[in-house]
Structure formats: C-alpha cells, structure tokens
Structure 1
C-alpha cells in the first residue's frame, strides 16, 4: 500500500514538473519572455536536467511528445501561405512562408542556447533524443531541428583547433583516455607516448565549451606509410627524430560529444591538421590514414555467390567467388572463424590474397552505396584516395572480429582532394594501382 502511494506521488510530481516546464517554454517564446529569457532559459535547463536524471519516469519522453505535437508549424497556415506564394512568388510571400514553416521549437532551442550552459544542455537533450528515436520515429522532426541548429552553431568556422600536449590540463588528458574510440589508451604511460614529438594530437574546441574537446585526431610522424597499427601505438617504442618525419599517419579519430552525431567535424579537422603540419614540417610529403574496416566481416559472412551481384562482370565475379570459396575451405564453411587468432595463424599467402581481393571489392565498389563501410565513406567522401590494403595489420580481438586483421590506408593528396571527393559523390572510388590491380 505504501509503495503504491509513493509511486502515485512520484507520478504526480513528474506531471507537475512537466506542466511547469511546458509553461516556462511558452513563457520563453513570448514577447515578454524574450526580455528575461536568460533567467527563464536557465530554469528550463535545470528542469531538463531533473527530468533526465530519472529516465524511468518517462517524463522526458512526454516532453519530447510535447515538442513534436505542440511546437510544430500550423498546417493550415503553412498551406495558406504556400498557396499565396504559388500565386505570387515574391519576396514577401516567400519570407512569410519561411517563417510559418519553421517550427516554434527552433526558436525555443535558440533562446535556451543563450543561457549559460545552454549549448551543453541542448547537446545532452539531442543525445537523449537520438537514443530514443528507434522506438519513437515520430520525434524525427524534433531531432532534425536540433541537428540543423547544432550544425550551424558548430560550423568549423567557429571552432578552434588546438594541439594537445603532455603539458595540457590533466582534465583534458583524462578526456582523451576516456573518449578514445579506435585504439584504447592503456593508461598514462600510453598517453604520454602518444604525445611525444613524433606523435601529435589535435582537437576542435567551441567557445561555449572551451574546456571540452569536440573531436580529436591522433597522428604519427614516421618515415613511410604504415602497414600495421602495433608499432604506432607501442608505448615502449623509441621516439623518432625530426629527420625521419616523411609521412603523417592519421591513425585514430574520436568524437567526444555523441550529441553532435551527424555534425561534420572530423573531415574539417583532418584537412586543417594536414595543412598545419605541412606548414610546420615542410619535409612531410605524404598524409594518409591507417584505418579500420569495421563493416568488412559482417558483410563477408552474409554474402552469397558474388558472381550474381548486379554490375559485376563475369571475370571479376569468378575471381571474387573463387576467393570466397578459398576462405570457406580454410574456415570449414564458417567465415566468422577468420576473426579467431588460431585460424589467422593457419592462413597462407593465397588466403591473404583472397582476403585482399574481397576487401578491395568491398571498399572500392560498395563504399559509395547506402550501407557502405562507414569509415570508408567518411574518408572517401572527404576527398581521400583508396591507397593500400594491409593484411595482419591489426591482430587485436577487435581488429580480427571487424576485418580479419586487415586495415587500409587512405591517402590525402591535398592537391587532389576536390577531385577525389567529386568522383565519390558521382559513385566512383578513386583507387591506387595497387588496389585496382586486385580487381
């Protein structure tokens, strides 16, 4: 009985909190509210944090419903103004239509953003929304509005690139360890090695989040294009001297703000870092990545006879299917076994060649298509060239599971980035002769 009373009291409290939040949102959008908006917005930020602190209550979900239903454009007004613009397509009619089409919640988000901590609060709000979208597709318009605004506010023109060094604040260094998403940082010794003179780390920062990196990239300065990750992240390796800096290898890029997913940051960061390093170290001649192929094994294990794929000429289809059959034989018809170290040890040159052929097809032909490898799409759309495939490049459990130990180099030729990007947009991957030769 007592538990039921407490539950009812909690529900009543959440309902009251939601009504108060709705009232304050309306106040914030009112003409009177605009004059005192920082105070009202700060109260809304506190209320949102309180709702998010108790996710099981469902109060935040009801708030998202409120945003979707009650802060959307008026359909009748939009229709009337659209018809007016169709009859008389002049500037005044277009402006009126544009104002009517914009959801009121966008102005609500703008006013929340003006308050101290507003930007961070909206990023957290979008993350909570993203996490719930699979179960609530009706909220996609709300998420789209937040993405639209955040993309404007986090335009690279507003961002500051900083180099992170061992002398950076401890709080910032801790965030690198926490957010590293590609190659885990094994404690402070590992991080210190990654910040030695032949290793660099750069991050983007926003004025509203001055002490929080948005995204960071790690770079190794080495004599030649790397074909394996272990030497680059070996915390016991000896740092190289500047006379050996010939190639810059981008070996890890990590987002620190999941609420900014979909906001273009990484592509601009890589290009800006490349230009910065080229100016600092004129001896650098090559800029490329050593990247994972996270979708390869998932694709390979679900692929049937490759001779039947649309657009694959017979000779290539036969070569691909022969490669697949060779791997089926060595794995006893279980291609997922390629992700086990014991099976990798049995692979001979012919099996590695088969893997390279299939990976070349996966990246060169399928990357431009919907569902293509996400890392490949990122770099190729960013203007890189598919340069080289490397077997046994990452023998960690993650590297084996994702890509049977393979990694790939994407080359950033700063003079041909626009050309490679244009070709990718048109559905073609620019490849080196080494990769093209595999097909």
Structure 2
C-alpha cells in the first residue's frame, strides 16, 4: 500500500515538473516493464508492440537494453497463435519496410553529387534501401538460440505466403540474411551411428523427408555396417541438424529402394563396395528451404567416404521423381502425342495403370519410360531449368541423369508420384564443376547414353 502511494506521489511530481514530456515518460515506463501480448494480438497490443519495436531499433538505453527487448519480443512471438503471428509479421512487412521518400531523396542526392561526394551519396542510398526491419532481424542473432528463432520465423513466413502475399518482401529479406549467415565454410559435418545420442537419432527419424523411417529397427538397419549417415550443423545451432545425408555402400548401381531398405538383406563388407548411393538427402529445417549450399554437401561427404573407403569408384543417387504423374496427367492429348512415347501411351490404355506398373505390358512400359526421360531431361520451368525439383537440385550440383529404374519404389507414395520409377544421378568428380556451371548458365542437362536413347523420337 505504501509503495502504491509513493508511486502516485512520484507520478504527480513528474506531471508538475515535465508536463510536456509526460507521454515520453509513460513510454519509458512501458519499455522498462514487461511486454505481454494476447495470443491473437488484438486491441492495444499492436500499439504496445510498435513502441517496443521502435525502441529496439533506436538503441534506446544501449545495446544491452536493445538485446533484452529482442529477447522479450522473440518470447512473445512464440506465444502467439497463428493469427497473432500473421498480424505480427504483417506489421513488420508493412510498417517497417523501405521508406520510399527517403530513397527518392537519396537518389536525387546521388545524381546531384560531384565526383568527390559520389561515394558518400552512394553509401547513403544503400542505407536508405535497407528496410528498418533488417536491423530488428539482425538483433535476434544476439539472443539465445537467435539463429534458430530466425530459421523458424522464415518457416512461418513460408507457411503463410499464399494466404498473405504481402509478406513476400519480408521473407526475401530474411532469406538474404540467412543465406549470408549460413556460409558453407561454417558448416560442420558429423557422422551418425547407432551410438549417437538418442536426441539426435530421434531428430533423424522426425526429419527424414524422402523415405519415412518406420521405427527403431528400420533406423538401426540404416546405420548398419554397409550404410553411412551424416548430418550437417551450424555453429550457432549446435543441437539442430540442418541436413541429413543417408548413404548405402553397394556393388554396382542400385536400382530399388525396397532392396536398399530391406531389413533382411545380408550386410555387405564395406571394403567390397565399389559404389556409394545417396538415397536420401533431407532438409531438417523448413526455414532454410531455397537457401543453396551448392555441391559443397555432396563433395564433403564424398571426400569423407573416399578417405575411409578408397576403393569406391562410383558416386550416385537413387532419387524419387515427385512431379512426374502430376505433369503427365496434366498434358493435353495433342501435346502428349508430340512427345517420345506419348502417342503409344495415349492410344494403348488408361492412366489408371500408373498405379500398378508391375502389370504394364512391355509396349506401354517402354512408352512410359520414354515420357519419364523427357520429363527429367527436357521439360523446363522458367524456360531453362528442370521442372522436377529433385532433378533441378542434382543437376545444379553437377550431376548427370544416368539411369531410369523400373518398379524401383512400390510404396504408395512412389506409385502416386512417379508410377514406381526412380532415377540415378551420377556424380563424376572431375566433371561436377563444369556440369554445374553449364546447367546454371545455359540449362544444359548432362545425360548418359541410355537416357539419350530414350529421348530419341
């Protein structure tokens, strides 16, 4: 009670002494207290949030105070529900964007500047083009687990972008920031074994995105003596894997995921293997989608494998083809007839047979293989790059489309996406860089002789 009276006397004194500064004083009281937001960010929350963000941007109270406010802001964001998070992000996107009037002034000053002042004017223009929200996003890097918070923040933006297209510039800002921080030279490679921590093994099960891990026996099978599994980490996210890479050590090119994942299959002596098959590359962080690490990941794993097993001669993938059936079933009859194998496929049966590729007659099976070859090697997006996302990933990393595999994935997912087919992408080490550049610059797709044969009209 006495404390309340003292607080009241203090406020009255402030009113008498600084009547014109009362609003600023009230804002200071707000910022010195706690920020508490309702889950859906309604009512007066937005006003309080704006003042809090402004204080973070202004360095009001020094670096320590700004950092503490960023910690509070991150904590409150995590407590919001989906609607509240959308409102929070829309606020950043719309009220903390580039100041267009400031950019116009900076451009005029740059145009008017003489040779001596041109550099200074250019720096001022660059600063004007940087939206204020970038400062706030950078602030989060200094809070505990701040990088993970920003990665998850971008995942949230990606999940909302269709519903809220206004968030696109904010998502692009965050992607640029994360792309700079996640330099490939900083990534750390760790081999995973059955002796790895339970926490890490559980994350491998949870994040496996290509071929779901069905349980602990399945996981143990993927970590046996003729298998290798690797994870990449960032020093600022030491407990959160970024990418998992699963490898099978085999003799010759693998052509069936069922065979690779068969828990009853005999274990091969790794020293007898001549081929390393990358059968799963899973992004463990949705917020890093679209941030390319180039062929660095593949080359790092290959280097490690060659150090351990110098007899390995061939490095390839056994990859899914996720977009094939959707593409095929979207073709008109006229377009289909103009593609290799298209007329035969159109005229000899129903599309329902795609769900049961084992029962296709040889003529239709060959037609389907030829259509698949076209889809992988010739069908493009944006007039240059492979339409299939997995093909684009491996081609941009310098791989060759090496071989199609029939009835290679007979899971429900494999039948639904690609009629059970899979593809091998071969990584020939001396040619990786040249192929990557040719594809990136010209859209040139490296293909094997067997693929070229399927592509002939």
TM-score by length of 2: 0.85
Correspondence 1:242 to 2:274: no
Whether the 8 Å CA contact 1:249–1:288 is kept in 2: the answer is yes
- Alpha-carbon RMSD across the aligned residues, in angstroms, is 2.1
- 2:419 maps to what in 1? 404
Correspondence 1:70 to 2:99: no
Alignment match of 2:208 (pick from 180, 194, 197): 180
- 1:23 maps to what in 2? 51
Correspondence 1:365 to 2:344: no
Alignment match of 1:345 (pick from 358, 361, 364): 358
Change beyond 3 A, Cα 1:13–1:256:
closer
For 2:209, what is the secondary structure of its paired residue?
A: coil
* 1:277 positional shift: 1.1
* 1:26 positional shift: 1.3
CA distance, structure 1, for counterparts of residue 369 and residue 61 of structure 2: 62
Whether the 8 Å CA contact 1:203–1:269 is kept in 2: the answer is no
CA radius of gyration, larger in? 2
Alignment match of 2:428 (pick from 383, 391, 413): 413
For 2:332, what is the secondary structure of its paired residue?
A: coil
Alignment match of 2:391 (pick from 376, 380, 385): 376
- 1:227 maps to what in 2? 255
Whether the 8 Å CA contact 1:253–1:266 is kept in 2: the answer is no
For 2:162, what is the secondary structure of its paired residue?
A: helix
Change beyond 3 A, Cα 1:243–1:161:
closer
- 1:312 maps to what in 2? none
For 2:246, what is the secondary structure of its paired residue?
A: strand
* 1:318 positional shift: 6.6
* 1:346 positional shift: 2.3
CA distance, structure 1, for counterparts of residue 61 and residue 177 of structure 2: 21
For 1:116, what is the secondary structure of its paired residue?
A: coil
Q: Which moved more, 1:88-97 or 1:213-222?
A: 88-97
CA distance, structure 1, for counterparts of residue 387 and residue 335 of structure 2: 19
CA distance, structure 2, for counterparts of residue 12 and residue 435 of structure 1: 54
Whether the 8 Å CA contact 2:40–2:85 is kept in 1: the answer is no
- 2:157 maps to what in 1? 129
For 1:84, what is the secondary structure of its paired residue?
A: helix
CA distance, structure 2, for counterparts of residue 318 and residue 38 of structure 1: 60
Correspondence 1:299 to 2:327: yes
Structure-to-structure mapping, 1:208-287, within 5 angstroms:
208-265=236-293, 267-287=295-315
Aligned residues: 412
* 1:109 positional shift: 0.5
Whether the 8 Å CA contact 1:323–1:358 is kept in 2: the answer is no
Alignment match of 2:343 (pick from 322, 326, 341): 322
TM-score by length of 1: 0.89
